[in-house]
Homo-oligomer: A and B are copies of this chain.
């Protein structure tokens, strides 16, 4: 890691957009995919940040993702719509869906959109935050290819199935964006390469037996340790809303994200929802209650040597720092950028 690999966020944003467009992706794809990845990178959720760019380019080139998707409304009634994302990069359908959910919530107090024929959409929080920026509570569910065992299970059953909720607050939104597994699978991979021992109860071998050896880890544990039935059930909530309700592929049937087949669409579903506080009471009352909640939380007693934070506080701090100083890219991501810059004839971001 050298000073030379530090990139400003606007330069990163421009590079991602340029790469998508140079590959022949349409403007909506370039915009949506870039915004979602930049949400991840800006907030320090690097697993769902610009490191995904080479993956998405590969999938667009291979045909798994549609370079020129034309999302369309399929059905629904009242405060619900169902959209077909036309095998777009995942952020396209999720942003479209949330935009519609926000409009529906303006009209009906609440709005929900099921997205069909989507794909990996990156950070779930990116779409929930859209609702919060519009003054609403946003909720996002997605499933993904399976890495996580059930409670007492010995099979990769659920994906890391994220749940994201964002709520408007003074300043940056309250933001929960969580995997329903104990840890993400890329932490297992990181610990493999570093030779570090895993924490207790977060991963299991092929028999489902807990292991702290990252090389033996075949599947993740659901959130909750000995109460892992709760984490597994929360993964189930994400699964039911995103895949059962939309008629899309269940986690254990989804083709692996990493290939080898980069030509076949993965037919993934997602669910986004916006809730309008003004349907429940006046805006001033909501804002005052949220302020009372967050002020009490941020000033509440902490354990010795600790500080209490609201969900999202840490991420928004990282965002402020990175907006100021840029971000240092990891070597694997940099190499992927180099490869694609050459291939597409675009210039690398300034470092």
A residues near B, CB below 8 A?
Answer: 75-80, 82, 107-112, 114, 137, 150-155, 157, 165, 167, 174, 176, 178, 182-183, 199, 201, 204, 207-209, 223-227, 229-230, 232-234, 236-237, 239-241, 243-247, 250, 252, 273, 275-277, 279-281, 285-286, 289-290, 292-293, 296-297, 300-304, 306-311
Contact = CB atoms under 8 A, between A and B. Distances in A.
Contacts of A280: 75-76, 80, 82, 114, 245-247
Given A178-B230, A209-B304, A250-B293, 4 more contacts: A150-B297, A152-B302, A176-B237, A246-B280
Contacts of A154: 300-303
A275 B109 contact: no
Copies of this chain, tallied across the complex: 2
B176 A236 contact: yes
Nearest to A74: B281
Contact of A152 (B157, B247, B306): B306
Question: Looking at A78, A309, A310, which has the most chain B CB atoms within 10 Å of its CB?
Answer: A78
Contact of A110 (B80, B151, B309): B80
A78 B289 CA distance: 23
A109 B236 CA distance: 21
Contacts of A308: 150-153
A281 B165 contact: no
A137 B250 contact: no
Q: Top 10 closest A-B pairs, CB basis?
A: A78-B108, A80-B109, A152-B306, A80-B279, A208-B303, A233-B311, A176-B233, A154-B301, A79-B79, A244-B289
Contacts of A153: 300-303, 306, 308
Contacts of A230: 176, 178, 223
Contact of A302 (B176, B208, B223, B281): B208
A211 to B, nearest CB: 12
A79 B226 CA distance: 39
Contact of A239 (B150, B209, B239, B293): B293
A182 B226 CA distance: 9
A207 B303 contact: yes
Given A108-B80, A296-B252, A240 B311 contact: no
Most buried by B among A108, A154, A174, A232: A108
Given A153-B300, A209-B303, A223-B230, A75 B281 contact: yes
A226 to B, nearest CB: 7
A294 to B, nearest CB: 10
A273 B280 CA distance: 13
A223 B226 contact: no
A129 B36 CA distance: 36
B244 A155 contact: no
